[in-house]
Amino acid sequence: MSDADYNTDPVTLSRFIMEDDHERRKLYGKTRTSLSFILGAIGVAAKVTANAVQNAGMQGLYALGGGANQSGEDQKKLDVLANDVFVNVLRNTKKVRVMVSEELDEPIVVEGLEHARYVCVFDPLDGSSNIECNVSVGTIFGIYHTDDKSLADLSDGLRPGREMVAAGYILYSSSVVMVLSTGHGVHMFTLDPTFGEFVMTRRDWHMPSVPKKIYSCNTGNAQKWDLATRHFLRHIREEVGGYSARYVGSMVTDVHRTLLYGGIFMYPADKKNKRGKLRLLYECFPMAYLMEAAGGMATDGKTPILDIQPKDIHERCPIYLGCTRDVEKLLEFVKLQDEGK
């Protein structure tokens, strides 16, 4: 690489976080330095987890960890490792009061942090059931700020996703990518392994104005879906045409492709799973937050995902997300179904 090619002024995650806090002062008249600490910590946890994911095969981390998460799904050693990394890194910031993880039945309330004002919710390693066949996996996170001094746990602190102050995911794939929004724009970073930093690759990303025709769902469940979903699929396949089916079965991967190219990702409710499979707080909320920030949409079929009031930290939620062209068309079929047509 010639010196002319060498980037002597990289926009690293750390630099973005500082600039973003400065921007926040201009926009809102105040900074949130603690949020900056938390985002930086998530970057560290992402690098540690990425290293574990890359080496999992050699280090026997694919094996079952012996436990099960609150869904009753077998936990792999890698699930437990990723969870421990994110819990420890966030705890060490001394800025996070409460944590919710898919891998833990109950919230973690960090003792002695009455001054702390942040709640972090996360799925530390989503899609890990795919990892043995080398399918990409990811971490999904969302961050709330709370002025509630009495917030001893989340029993009365659950709030709609629209109140998140930041959300994002890390995709552990052919490269390690972090996608992040703190409320103004969606920004993407790629881990540069040569010097171990996340470097910005896309600033203020918006979904394509002409979205690709892609639908992403597990059609193996189609017979169990409601009429609206089935009629929507028939419409795009047989009446519109030209759509491609793309389904990896790892939410972060399927959502990342949808964010970049357009189309629709769906995990509907079905006759057996009345609220679908994906988790509202730490899967659907963060992905919906990013989709809306990038000009897309996310709904449960009736309500914008971000406006749903959670009742339980692990509750599930049907989700349809993607470009407005496709999500609005889905909602037209829901309206027809509601009208009995």
Place of tokens 């009736």: 302
Stretch that binds ligand P6P, among 92-100, 233-241, 245-253, 297-305 (CB under 6 A): 245-253
Specify the residue for token string 């891998």: 103
Q: Which positions from 162 to 201 touch ligand P6P by CB under 6 A, shown as an x/- string?
A: ----------------------------------------
Q: Min. distance of Cβ 217 from ligand P6P in angstroms?
A: 8
Stretch that binds ligand P6P, among 6-14, 24-32, 121-129, 174-182 (CB under 6 A): 121-129
CB of 59 to ligand P6P, least distance (A): 22
Pick between residue 93 and residue 216 the one whose CB is nearest to ligand P6P. Answer: 216
Q: Please say which residue, 127 or 263, places its beta carbon nearer to ligand P6P.
A: 127
Q: Which residues contact 240 (CB under 8 A, 6 or more apart)?
A: 213
Q: Which one, 146 or 221, has the nearer CB to ligand P6P?
A: 221
* 277: contact with ligand P6P by CB under 6 A: yes
Q: What is the DSSP letter of 90?
A: H
Query: At which residue do the structure tokens 């037209």 appear?
Result: 332
The residue among 27 and 68 lying less far from ligand P6P, judged by its C-beta, is 68
User: DSSP letter at 73?
Assistant: P
Tell the smallest beta-carbon distance from residue 160 to ligand P6P (Å).
22
251 binds ligand P6P (CB under 6 A): yes
Phi then psi for 129, rounded to 5 degrees?
Answer: -65, -15
Minimal distance, residue 63 CB to ligand P6P, in Å: 18
At position 302, the amino acid (one-letter code) is K
Q: Give the strand order in the sheet containing 108-109.
A: 108-109, 96-101, 118-126, 137-145, 164-172, 176-181, 187-192, 197-202
Q: Is 262 left (phi over 0), alpha (psi -120 to 50) or beta?
A: left
